[in-house]
Amino acid sequence: MARVTIVFGVLLIILGLVGFWGTGSIHYTALIPTWWGLALCAGGALAISPSEKRRKIFMHINVTVGLLGLIGAIAAALQGYGHARSLGEDPDYIALTAKLTMAGLLLIYVNLCVRSFIKARRSRQV
């Protein structure tokens, strides 16, 4: 799962950079997925270890980072959409798409991690 974490981190970095360039390189908040991706890449690199204990600790930290990012992305998307609609305006669809894409990537990542954790626990009990 450590390598999967790095892959999802790289995908988030790419999402942030594409969003930043897509907004004309003026909205630095478009780089937020990049920071989450860097955190996941660092955590994934730390989780590559022959020590099972170290690997478990860092993967639990990584899935927590992923879950917090998921919650934050969903909350930001809902808040941005609701705020724009309350003003009678159309939401910023580039930003909304980036937030929902980040949420989707992190939902898949957290789901994969939880399934991996369940599988590991079941294999130890047998």
Q: Provide the pLDDT confidence category of residue 22 given band limits of 50, 70 and 90.
A: confident
The pLDDT tens digits for 54-88 are 999 999 999 999 999 999 999 999 999 999 999 99
| Residue 28 domain boundaries | 2-125
Cβ atoms of residues 25 and 3 within 8 Å: no
CA distance 7 to 3: 6
**CA–CA distances in Å: residue 116 to residues 24, 40, 54, 98:** 39, 17, 16, 27
Cβ atoms of residues 13 and 38 within 8 Å: yes
To the nearest whole percent, how much of the chain has pLDDT over 70?
A: 99
* pLDDT over 80 (residue 25): no
Q: Where are the alpha helices (DSSP H) in the chain?
A: 2-22, 32-47, 52-86, 93-125
- Return mean pLDDT, the chain: 93
pLDDT of residue 26: 83
User: Rounded to two decimals, what is the model's pTM?
Assistant: 0.90
- How many domains does one find in the chain? 1
CA distance 109 to 95: 21
DSSP secondary structure letter of residue 23 = T
* pLDDT over 80 (residue 126): no
Which of the pair, 19 or 70, is modelled with greater confidence? 70
